[in-house]
Structure 1
Amino acid sequence: MSRPTRAFRAALAALALLAAGPALPRPAAAAEQLVVAGSTDIDAMAPVLKAFEALYPEMRVIYHERETVGLYEEVLDGTLLPPPDVVISSATDLQIRLVNDGFSRPHVSEATRRLPDWAIWRDEAFGFTFEPLVFVVNPAEIDGDDVPRTRERLAALISGDPAFRGRVATYDIRQSGIGYLMASFDQSAMSDFWPFVARVAEGGLMTACCAGEVVELVASGKAAVGYNVLGSYAHARKAAGAPIEIVYPEDFMFVIARVAFIMKDAPNVAAAELFIDFLLSEAAQRVFAHESMLSAIDPAITDGLGQTTIRAAARGPIRPIPLNAALLAMTDPLRRQRFVDLWSQVTGKSPAE
Structure 2
Amino acid sequence: MRNAGAVLFFLLLVMPGLGLAQERVVRLAGVISEARMLPLIEALSVNLPGTRLVYERLTSAQVAAAAARGNDVPFDLAFLSSPDIAVSIANEGHAVMDEVAGAMADRQWRGEVFSFWSDPAVIVVRRAAFEGRLPQTRIELVRLLEQDSVRFARRVGVVNVGIDDIGYLLASQDSIRTSLYWRLVRAFGGAKARIYDTTDDLLEALQAGELDVVYNVPLSALHAGGVLPKGMEILVPQDYVLAVPWTALIPKGARNLHETRILLQMLLAPDGRAALSAAGFVPPVQPTRFEGLQKIELGPELLVFRDMIKRSKFLDAWFQMIVG
- The two structures have a TM-score, normalised by structure 1, of 0.79
Where does residue 186 of structure 2 map in the other structure?
Answer: 198
* CA displacement 1:20-48 (0-9 Å, x = unmatched): xxxxxxxxx97621111111233332212
Where does residue 22 of structure 1 map in the other structure?
Answer: none
Distance 1:171 1:72, change over 3 A: farther
Where does residue 241 of structure 2 map in the other structure?
Answer: 253
1:169 aligns with 2:157: yes
Where does residue 266 of structure 1 map in the other structure?
Answer: 254
Distance 1:234 1:142, change over 3 A: farther
Residue 149 of structure 1: CA displacement?
2.1
Where does residue 334 of structure 1 map in the other structure?
Answer: 309
CA contact (8 A) 1:136 1:215 kept: no
Where does residue 223 of structure 1 map in the other structure?
Answer: 211
Structure 2 regions of 5+ residues with no counterpart?
1-20
| Structure 2 SS opposite 1:173 | coil
2:83 & 2:67 partners in 1: Cα distance?
14
The letter for the 1-side match of 2:289 is: A
Distance 1:73 1:222, change over 3 A: farther
2:266 & 2:113 partners in 1: Cα distance?
15
Distance 1:276 1:194, change over 3 A: same
Distance 1:34 1:140, change over 3 A: farther
Residue 142 of structure 1: CA displacement?
4.0
What's the Cα RMSD here? 2.2
Residue 201 of structure 1: CA displacement?
2.0
Where does residue 64 of structure 1 map in the other structure?
Answer: 56
CA contact (8 A) 2:109 2:298 kept: yes
Residue 317 of structure 1: CA displacement?
1.4
* CA displacement 1:239-293 (0-9 Å, x = unmatched): 4x5433211111100001111000112111112111111111222212223x222
Residue 78 of structure 1: CA displacement?
7.1
Look at both structures and tell me which one has the larger radius of gyration over its CA atoms.
2
CA contact (8 A) 1:31 1:268 kept: no
Correspondence 1:281-296 to 2 at 5 A: 281-289=269-277, 291-295=278-282
| Structure 2 SS opposite 1:201 | helix
* Percent of residue pairs bearing the same amino acid type: 25
CA contact (8 A) 2:67 2:251 kept: no
1:147 aligns with 2:134: yes
Residue 50 of structure 1: CA displacement?
0.6
Where does residue 52 of structure 1 map in the other structure?
Answer: 44
What is the aligned counterpart of 1:113 among 89, 103, 116? 103
Where does residue 94 of structure 2 map in the other structure?
Answer: 103
The letter for the 1-side match of 2:37 is: M
Where does residue 325 of structure 1 map in the other structure?
Answer: 300
Residue 140 of structure 1: CA displacement?
4.9
| Structure 1 SS opposite 2:271 | helix
| Structure 2 SS opposite 1:163 | coil
Distance 1:265 1:72, change over 3 A: closer
- The two structures have a TM-score, normalised by structure 2, of 0.86
1:313 aligns with 2:313: no
Distance 1:32 1:184, change over 3 A: same
| Structure 1 SS opposite 2:46 | helix
Residue 170 of structure 1: CA displacement?
1.4
Report the number of matched residues. Answer: 302
